[in-house]
Structure 1
Amino acid sequence: MGTAERREAPEGGVTAQLTAQRDPEAPDRDIPRHEDTAKAPDGEQPPSRPPLWVEEPARHRRMPDPVRAAAVRAVLIIAVTLIQAMVAFLCTLAGSWLAFPMVLSSVAGTVVATWGALDVWVTRQVWNQRNGVVSVPSSTARALRREKRRARRQSRAAERAQERIRRRGGTGQLSHP
């Protein structure tokens, strides 16, 4: 691994960018250039290069864990099914006895892969229905949760008031239940 140095972003930003400068004539590309890392003869810093990458915020939120697990499962199943189909095709071309069992397993794999893809969609829909769509400010699920919290708070406050009345021995009540 080569050596690297930290530099501040040229926009005057706060984040430091990790850059590695290499000598094009060096046989090993991990050797840094000496003339760029040292100061210029007149005491000035050499001209700064643009950063290798710029951190950008994520465009989409991360998928929920159950949906991501279903997606990984579906991708693995689909990959195995594609390999089975390719092996079945090559066995058919070669006239091998393995062609027929591979075709049957490819058909079964296609059914399972379709189930895997549908599983991702269903899991996503179920997760959205249970947890609400968080990215939309006017989400109905959020409003329902707010309503339920408000109702729970009111019921707890009413229970506390009743408990206080019972502890005082019923004073302040017009009638006893």
Structure 2
Amino acid sequence: MRAVLVIALTLLQAMTAFLCTMAGSWLALPMVISSVVSTIVATWGVLDVWVTRQVWNQRHGVVSVPSSTARALRRERRRARRRARADERARERIRRRGGAGQLSHP
């Protein structure tokens, strides 16, 4: 958020400096100097945000786009969960019928 505000302020100062220069105002030189300083600060702010995001992603191992192998693993886990739920439902049905269909009782 801070970087966005600094960039917005820099653009505003650059536009004001340009207009003051075109109008021949005495304010043109101070505005140009402050625009240059603001550009340096804005560049630092953007780099700070970018580096911070990179470090966070590197430490926590976050991949923004899942790979096809990750998708395949998730799909396989989902299938296994569905199979396990279906097996549990079948065992529950057999248990409710009093064990009908079983050859021996445990």
TM-score range, shorter chain: 0.5 to 0.7
Q: Name the CA distance, whole Å, in 1 between partners of 2:19 and 2:59.
A: 46
Q: Return the TM-score normalized by structure 2.
A: 0.58
1:116 aligns with 2:38: no
Q: How many residues align?
A: 68
Which residue pairs with 2:5 in the alignment?
Answer: 76
Letter in 2 for 1:113: A
1:86 aligns with 2:86: no
Identify, as 1 or 2, the structure richer in helix: 2
Q: The residue matched to 2:26 in structure 1 has which SS?
A: coil
Which residue pairs with 1:127 in the alignment?
Answer: 56
- C-alpha offsets along residues 124-143 of structure 1, whole Å, 9 cap, x if unaligned? 1111112111554779xxxx
State percent identity of aligned pairs.
75
Q: Return the TM-score normalized by structure 1.
A: 0.36
Q: Name the CA distance, whole Å, in 2 between partners of 1:97 and 1:116.
A: 30
Letter in 1 for 2:44: W
1:101 aligns with 2:30: yes
Higher relative contact order (CA 8 A, sep 6+): 2
- C-alpha offsets along residues 84-131 of structure 1, whole Å, 9 cap, x if unaligned? 001111111111111000000000011111111111210111111121
Q: Which runs of 5+ in 1 are unaligned?
A: 1-71, 140-177
Identify, as 1 or 2, the structure richer in strand: 1
Q: The residue matched to 1:96 in structure 2 has which SS?
A: coil
Q: Name the CA distance, whole Å, in 2 between partners of 1:81 and 1:114.
A: 10
Any runs of at least 4 consecutive aligned residues in structure 1 with deviations exceeding 3 A, and if so which? 134-139
